[in-house]
Amino acid sequence: MNIEEFREFGKASVDYIADYFENIRKIEVISQVEPGYLKNDLSEKAPLTGEPWQDVLQDVDKFIVPGLTHWHSPHFHAYFPTANSFPGIVGELFLSGLGSLSKDWNAASESTLVGLLCGIQRTVRNTLKLNLHLTKEQIKGKLVAYTSKESNSSVEKAGLLASVAMRLLPTDENGSLRGNILLDAIKRDKEAGLIPCCVVATLGTTGTCAFDNLEELGEICNKEDIWLHVDAAYAGAAFACPEYRYLMKGVQYTDSFNFNPHKWMLVNSDCSALWLKNTKDVEEALKVKSTLSKSSSFEHDIHQWQIPSSRRFRALKLWFVIRIYGVEGIQKHIRHQISLAKYFEHLARSDDRFEVCISSMGLVCFRLKGEDRLTQDLLDKIFKKEEDILDALLLQRKNWWLDL
Ligand SMILES: *Cc1c(COP(=O)(O)O)cnc(C)c1O
């Protein structure tokens, strides 16, 4: 493809995507095709000679798009939102176009692992100093970490990957991990000869968007010299608004803090940001002797702070979003989404068939009154698109990205 064709292909593709957004409301959220449908439609063999981009674009429309679930449809209500915005899309184009590798952005699950590894190494170092008769391996065998049973499954997985026992502690009735529960667990483990090394606190749990009590947990971690990692993957974006910052009271105690701009801050997947109090800890934890780039002109070797050594330059699209929306635009977006959740909560509460179990940030957990089976039946009906149910329940949401 020459540069003139690239211009045409690129412009036609942007037009295609703009049309897609203009019509997204009319498209079924869930793909209507049978799994395996592509087998009959697409050629089995790679083409021997190259084909014109026009044909490829046409096939994207005809064959690929019908097989997709439309995560950005305003009618998509599953899981957490996947952020998206026009500046984010253009940012994505630029970061591919400029092709530069960056070294500094994780995903939430990986950040938890990095935080945990830092905690392990710091605890091993500190324990070695005080217990000259113990070896590193002996200490590692005694380490234990803590999180709540409401934390994301990736936290348990981090324990698995780091070969550290990860205690899933019970929460209070609001889904929040409290200091007394942590303190009891630490006491029990220390009495059994184990060594606590890390606590992973969640601000905005996946199930109910609950907030662990960071202040209580932080004071304990600080006193016991335990690494405190905060997983604020979804809800962290809300701290752009001062009125929600009370939920991260105690943040001064954290050693590492992660949130996903790709979840709620208008940046396309993937983009997750990790903050570290002291980057020396992560350098100590992840440094290996045989690195390719021995000398760096930067103050820090950022690629030492993470597991892969190269990444796409995702900071660029985050920068696009921050520049083009500004702090106020991001705040407006968060507040608007929370107001939509409040509106939905109001609708659910004013319908006496429903009860609202939890409403936190953009998440509203609700159910039909009575047995769980009824709610399950309703969900099945929604999935099967039984018309009467849809008419009764479908809420028209505004095309928020066109407003912003
Ligand atoms: C979504 C989520 C994760 C996982 O994030 P990835 O970036 O997909 O790894 C972890 N923790 C919480 C609380 C989440 O909401």
Residue 67: CATH number of its domain: 1.20.1340.10
Count the helices and strands in the chain (H runs, E runs): 15, 10
- Choosing from 311, 339, 361, the residue where a domain stops is 311
* pTM metric for this prediction: 0.83
Residues 145, 276, single domain; the answer is: yes
Computed over every residue of the chain, the mean pLDDT equals 88
Q: What is the DSSP string of 277-344?
A: S-HHHHHHHH--S--S----SSSS-GGGGSSSS-EE-THHHHHHHHHHHHHHHHHHHHHHHHHHHHHH
- Cα distance between residue 198 and residue 306, in whole Å: 18
Higher pLDDT, 305 or 33: 33
CA of 314 from ligand 1 middle (Å) equals: 17
Residues 136, 91, single domain; the answer is: no
**Which atom of ligand 1 is closest in space to residue 234's alpha carbon?**
15
Q: Is there a contact between 81 and 363 (Cβ–Cβ < 8 Å)?
A: no
Scanning 198-248, the segments in alpha helix (DSSP H) are 214-224
pLDDT at 41: 79
CA of 152 from ligand 1 middle (Å) equals: 7
Give per-residue pLDDT as tens, 123-168: 999 999 988 889 999 999 999 999 999 999 999 999 999 999 999 9
Residues 186, 138, single domain; the answer is: yes
Give the torsion through C-alpha atoms of 316, 318, 321, 327, to 10 deg.
-130
By alpha-carbon position, which residue is closest to atom 12 of ligand 1? 233
pLDDT at 95: 80
CA of 341 from ligand 1 middle (Å) equals: 20
Residue 71 has pLDDT above 50, yes or no: yes
Residues 96, 148, single domain; the answer is: no
Residue 360 has pLDDT above 70, yes or no: yes
pLDDT at 404: 30
pLDDT at 349: 94
pLDDT at 288: 78
Report the share of the chain in percent with pLDDT over 70: 90
Residue 135 lies in a domain: yes
- Number of domains observed in the structure of the chain: 2
What band does 400 get if pLDDT is binned at 50, 70 and 90?
very low
- Choosing from 325, 358, 380, the residue where a domain stops is 325
pLDDT at 388: 66
pLDDT, average across residues 341-370: 94
Residues 244, 282, single domain; the answer is: yes
pLDDT, average across residues 31-41: 85
Higher pLDDT, 51 or 120: 120
Q: Is there a contact between 268 and 84 (Cβ–Cβ < 8 Å)?
A: yes
| Residues 6+ positions from 302 with CB-CB distance below 8 Å | 103, 104
Residues 228, 213, single domain; the answer is: yes
Q: What is the DSSP string of 124-158?
A: HHHHHHH-TT--HHHHHTTEEEEEETTS-HHHHHH
Residues 96, 124, single domain; the answer is: no
Residue 296 has pLDDT above 50, yes or no: yes
Residues 267, 136, single domain; the answer is: yes
- Choosing from 279, 311, 343, the residue where a domain stops is 311
Residues 135, 35, single domain; the answer is: no
Whether residue 231 has its Cβ less than 6 Å from ligand 1: yes
Whether residue 235 has its Cβ less than 6 Å from ligand 1: no
CA of 153 from ligand 1 middle (Å) equals: 9
Residue 283 has pLDDT above 90, yes or no: no
